Amino acid sequence: MQNNLNDKAEILMETLPFMRRYSNKVIVIKFGGHAMGKKEYVKTFAQDVSLLQQVGILPIVVHGGGPQIGEMLKKLKIESNFIDGLRVTDAATIDVVEMVLCGIINKSIVSAISNEGANAVGISGKDGNLISAKRLSVIDKNSDSNLENVVDLGFVGEPNKINTDVIQALINQKMIPIIAPVGIGENGLSYNINADTAAGAIASAMKATRMMMLTDVEGVLDSKGEIITELSIKKCKELIKENVVHGGMIPKINTCIKTVQDGAEAAVIMDGRKKHSLLVELFTEDGVGTLIKD
C-alpha cells in the first residue's frame, strides 16, 4: 500500500515541471474523428481538458464532426460529394453542417466538460466574427489534357482573419472556449471550415504554446512504421518529398507547418483515442505523439 502511494507521489512530482512550463499558456486542442464518436473517449477528453484548466493552463477546443454530419445528411437523404477530402457544401448541406456542428456536437462537448467541473462555453466562428472566412476553391488537374480547373466547393471556406478579442474575453472570465469551425463571410454567409485548418489558424493567432491535433493515428510514422517523436519543419518537408509521409497525413502536416510558421510555438499530431493522451503528451518527457516545431 505504502509503495503504491509512493509511486503515485513520484508521478505527481514528475509532472510538476511540465505544469509550471505550461502554466498560463494557451493550448489549442483540435478534437475530432472517431474519438468524438464514443462516450468513453469524450468523457476522458473532458476530464483531461478540465484538469488542464485546474492546473492553470488555458485550453481552447476546436472540434470537427465529419462523421456526424455525414450521418445526418444520410437521414435527410442529402447526397454528399467530396473533392480532395473536402465536402462539397451546397445551401442545403451548409444548413445541416451548422445544425450539427454548432448545435448537437458543440453543446455535447460543453456539457461533458462542464460535468467534469470546468467552465466551458460553446460558440461558433460566426459569433463575434470570431472566424472571418473566404470561399475556398481547389485546383483539379486533368491528367489527360494537363489543364487545371478551379473547382467550386460551394460553402466551404478558409479562415481569413481570427478575432482573438472574443477568445481572450472568454479566457479572462475563466471560461474554456469550445469552437465550432463555421466561419462567416461577406453578407453574413456561413462557411464550413476544416477543423484542422480552423484550429491551426486560431493557434497561430493566439500565439499558442501548443496546437494539439487529436486524430485517429499515433502520429507521424517513419519508413519502418515507427512513430517519430519530434520533427523540424525542414524534416517534415523531406519526408513528404521522399513519400514516407503520404495520403491524409500530408494535409495534417502542412497544417502543422503553417500553424508554427504563423505564430504557434509547436504543433502535435497524436492519437485522441488513447486514454488521457492529452495529459501524457503534455506532462511526460516522451509524450505520445509527434511534435512539430521550427
**Residue 104 maps to a domain:** yes
- The CA angle 135-198-171, to the nearest 5 degrees, is 130
Cβ-based neighbours of 196, under 8 Å, separated by 6 or more:
30, 32, 64, 213, 251, 252, 255
More confident residue, 183 or 142: 183
In terms of DSSP H, where are the helices of the chain?
Answer: 2-22, 39-54, 66-75, 91-98, 106-115, 164-172, 195-205, 233-241, 249-261, 277-283
Mean of all residue pLDDT scores within the chain: 89
Q: Is residue 210 domain-resident? A: yes
Domain residues for the domain of 120 are 23-218
How many alpha carbons fall within 13 Å on the CB side of residue 263?
14
pLDDT at 49 over 90: yes
Supply the DSSP symbol for 102: I
Considering the domain boundaries, does residue 33 fall inside one? yes
Strand partners, 178: 61, 122
Contact 288, 218 (CB under 8 A): yes
Kindly report the pTM of this predicted structure.
0.91
DSSP state, residue 144: T
pLDDT at 8: 66
Domain CATH code at residue 44: 3.40.1160.10
Domain membership of residue 282 (yes or no) is no
The answer to whether residue 198 is domain-embedded is yes
Interval 115-139: pLDDT, tens: 999 999 999 999 999 999 999 877 7
Split into its structural domains, the chain has a count of 1
Q: Is residue 154 part of a domain?
A: yes
pLDDT over threshold 90, residue 3? no
Q: What residues contact residue 283 under an 8 Å CB cut-off, 6+ apart?
A: 14, 15, 18, 19
Average pLDDT for 257-269: 97
Q: What is the mean pLDDT of residues 23-47?
A: 87
Judge whether 41 lies within some domain.
Answer: yes
Question: Per-residue pLDDT for 100 more than 60?
Answer: yes
Say if 237 falls within a structural domain.
no
For 5-20, write each residue's pLDDT tens digit. Answer: 667 677 777 778 888 8
The residue assigned the cell 484548466 is 53
For the stretch 38-44, contacts whose Cβ atoms lie closer than 8 Å and that sit 24 or more positions apart, written own/partner, are 41/272, 41/273, 42/108, 42/109, 42/112, 43/112, 43/116, 44/275, 44/276
Q: Band of the pLDDT at 147, cuts 50, 70, 90?
A: low
Q: State pLDDT tens for residues 215-255.
A: 888 899 998 989 999 999 999 999 999 999 988 899 999 99
* pLDDT score at 143: 47
* 38 to 44, 48, 166, 213, 272: CA distances (angstroms): 10, 16, 30, 18, 11
Q: Which of 120, 139, 136 is nearest to 201 (CA)?
A: 136
